[in-house]
């Protein structure tokens, strides 16, 4: 059943209102803490969401000790469908400041360059993000220039909560039992570290994708590499043939990697090495990479290359010690979703019902859904609507909030009578 104009208006207003509230809450995760949640500040939004879900009328609402927010909406009478889940994450990336976010409206976007009040040198236009051209005449939201916006993934959170509010407000919107989970620490790879899968349904959808219409069923195979260089230090005036400067050698190691296999030079299905951190001194230095590819075998070759390069450097600099530690972060969810086609087909149909063209693409990143897939819960990723995530130029069209919330409602309606 098509969503009525009254429901659409409600979704637009409610999702926007919640989004503007959520982005102002400081929730940047901390990849150095080693805790779950990685930052106590994430609880601020978690507890706000808990209150809102109770106000809407959901049951079994809780924020657990690890900052996961759970809630249940019982099925409409006569439901034949399975229990389904929806996930989004409340943390934001540390790649740009996330405190004191000030959302700014750019009304009736004219297709030109957007300026930022708090950074006169910062600009945003179609050359930076070609998708902007599709939203001429629409209202665009950015931050003010000093921070990211936080649409990744507070847009997804707002769309899910608005959708739940609509299901409660409009009884004609039929749905199966819905279980919601809002996660912490997705941006640092910990979104499912402490998740309780028994609180979820048989299938799930994350709302954590990009532009309007996207559905993602394939993601990177992902690994994290930490490499430590232990050198030999001595007074620089007497260092000839003695000093092994760990910091300088670490820099040379990075420079020895193929530049064409970095994010700046790759697209579509091309993988990469991405330097996240480099630091140290003459005695000890460390570097940190993420390694990404859609093909596990190709990623394995990158890991072998890093270890082989470490061996070369130790032979080149006798006495140097190089320690390489590599850990898997997530796998390509297509391995699971190719065997769960009904879950994907429902999402595609739900997008079409909202009047949006379906965009099937492989995500050049990962989501909580990638890990949930391998926990036995098929979980494709649906658009949240924002673009240029993790940057001060991050933006989202207001219409995306409405469309994604409508897709949420449509997914629920389709599963009301459908069985797995």
Backbone angles phi, psi at 179, to 5 degrees: -120, 125
pLDDT of residue 1: 65
Q: Is the pLDDT of residue 419 over 80?
A: no
Interval 20-40 mean pLDDT: 96
48 and 102 co-located in one domain: yes
CATH assignment at residue 100? 3.40.630.10
Rounded to the nearest integer, the mean pLDDT of the chain is 96
State whether 48 and 106 are in the same domain.
Answer: yes
pLDDT at 189: 87
pTM of the full predicted structure? 0.90
pLDDT given at position 299: 94
Residues 369, 289 share a domain:
no
Q: Are residues 97 and 163 in the same domain?
A: yes
**Same domain, yes or no, for 210 and 354?**
yes
Check pLDDT > 90 for residue 335.
Answer: yes
Q: Give, in degrees to the nearest 5, the angle at Cα 363 between 212 and 351.
A: 30
Q: In this structure, are 152 and 105 located in the same domain?
A: yes
**If you average pLDDT over residues 262-279, what whole number do you get?**
95
Q: Which of the listed residues 272, 297, 329 is the one where a domain comes to its end?
A: 329
Task: Please say if the pLDDT value at position 150 is more than 90.
Answer: yes
Over range 182-210, report the average pLDDT: 95
Which phi and psi angles does 145 have, rounded to 5°? 120, -15
pLDDT at residue 418, as a whole number = 81
Domain that holds residue 261: 221-329
- Judgement on whether residues 72 and 182 belong to the same structural domain of the protein: yes
pLDDT at 344 over 80: yes
Query: Same domain, yes or no, for 228 and 209?
Result: no
Annotated catalytic residue within 52, 159, 186, 394 = 186
Q: Which helix (H) or strand (E) holds 162?
A: helix 151-169
Tokens (6 digits) for 62:
């809780």
Quick one: 95 and 183 in the same domain? yes
Query: Which of the listed residues 329, 360, 388 is the one where a domain comes to its end?
Result: 329
Q: Is the pLDDT of residue 338 over 80?
A: yes
- Residue 264: which residues within 8 A CB-CB, separation 6 or more? none
Query: Residue 319: left (phi > 0), alpha (psi -120 to 50), or beta?
Result: left
Judged against a pLDDT cut of 80, whether residue 420 lies above it is answered with no
Residue 279: which CATH number? 3.30.70.360
- Nearest C-alpha neighbor of 104 from the set 115, 93, 112: 115
Query: What pLDDT was estimated at residue 78?
Result: 92
Q: Kindly state whether residues 345 and 212 are assigned to the same domain.
A: yes
Q: Are residues 323 and 373 in the same domain?
A: no
Quote the pLDDT of residue 366. Answer: 85
pLDDT in tens, 356-371: 999 998 889 888 999 9
- Residues 212, 239, single domain; the answer is no
Flag whether pLDDT at 377 surpasses 80. Answer: yes
Name the domain count of the chain. Answer: 2
Report the first-to-last Cα separation within the chain, whole angstroms: 20
The alpha carbon dihedral of 180, 182, 183, 187 has a sign of positive
Element spanning 397, H or E: strand 395-397
**How many C-beta atoms surround the C-beta of residue 264 within 10 A?**
8
Collect all residues with Cβ–Cβ distance below 8 Å to 15 and sequence separation of at least 6: 158, 159, 161, 162, 401, 402, 404, 405
Summarised one tens digit per residue, pLDDT across range 311-328 is 999 999 999 999 999 999
Q: Does residue 332 carry a pLDDT above 80?
A: yes
Number of H helices, E strands in the chain: 9, 17
Of 14, 50, 52, 91, the active-site residue reads: 91
The answer to whether residue 109 scores a pLDDT higher than 90 is yes
Cβ atoms < 10 Å from Cβ of 304? 10
- Of 305, 329, 353, the residue that ends a domain is 329
Look up 119 and say whether it is catalytic.
Answer: no
Decide if 113 contacts 123 (C-beta within 8 A).
yes
pLDDT in tens, 207-264: 999 999 999 999 999 999 999 999 999 999 999 999 999 999 999 999 999 999 999 9
Residue 125 has φ and ψ, to the nearest 5°, of -155, 180
Active site residue 152: no
Q: Where are the beta strands (DSSP E) in 127-271?
A: 140-142, 178-183, 203-209, 214-219, 221-230
């Amino acid at each position: 059943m098509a969503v009525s104009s009254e429901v659409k208006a409600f979704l637009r207003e409610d999702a926007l209102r919640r989004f503007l509230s959520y982005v102002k809450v400081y929730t940047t995760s901390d990849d150095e803490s080693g805790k779950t949640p990685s930052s106590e500040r994430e609880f601020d939004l978690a507890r706000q969401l808990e209150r809102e879900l109770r106000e809407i009328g959901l049951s079994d609402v809780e924020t657990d000790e690890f900052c996961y927010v759970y809630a249940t909406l019982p099925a409409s009478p006569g439901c034949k469908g399975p229990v389904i889940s929806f996930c989004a994450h409340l943390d934001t990336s540390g790649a740009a400041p996330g405190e004191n976010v000030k959302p700014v409206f750019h009304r009736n976007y004219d297709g030109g360059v957007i300026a930022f009040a708090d950074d006169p040198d910062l600009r945003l236009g179609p050359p930076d993000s070609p998708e902007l051209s599709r939203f001429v005449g629409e209202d665009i939201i950015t931050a003010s220039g000093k921070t990211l916006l936080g649409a990744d993934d507070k847009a997804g959170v707002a769309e899910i909560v608005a959708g739940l509010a609509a299901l409660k407000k409009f009884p004609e919107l039929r749905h199966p039992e819905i279980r919601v989970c809002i996660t912490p620490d997705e941006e640092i790879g910990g979104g499912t570290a402490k998740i309780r899968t028994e609180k979820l349904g048989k299938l799930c959808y994350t709302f954590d994708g990009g532009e309007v219409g996207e559905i993602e069923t394939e993601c990177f195979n992902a690994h994290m590499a930490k490499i430590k260089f232990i050198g030999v230090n001595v007074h620089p005036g007497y260092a000839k043939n003695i000093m092994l400067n760990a910091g300088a050698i670490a820099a040379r190691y990075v420079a020895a990697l193929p530049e064409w296999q970095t994010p700046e030079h790759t697209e579509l299905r091309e993988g990469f090495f991405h330097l996240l951190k480099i630091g140290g001194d003459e005695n000890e230095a460390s570097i940190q990479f993420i390694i990404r590819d859609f093909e596990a075998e190709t990623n394995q070759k990158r890991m072998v290359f890093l270890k082989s390069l470490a061996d070369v450097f130790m032979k080149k600099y006798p006495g140097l010690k190089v320690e390489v530690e590599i850990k898997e972060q997530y796998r390509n969810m297509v391995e699971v979703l190719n065997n769960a086609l009904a879950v994907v087909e429902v999402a595609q149909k739900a997008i079409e019902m909202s009047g949006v063209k379906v965009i099937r693409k492989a995500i050049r990143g990962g989501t909580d859904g990638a890990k949930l897939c391998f926990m036995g819960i098929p979980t494709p990723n649906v658009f949240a609507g924002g673009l240029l995530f993790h940057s001060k130029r991050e933006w989202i069209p207001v219409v995306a909030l409405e469309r994604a919330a409508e897709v949420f409602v449509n997914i629920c309606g389709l599963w009301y009578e459908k069985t797995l």
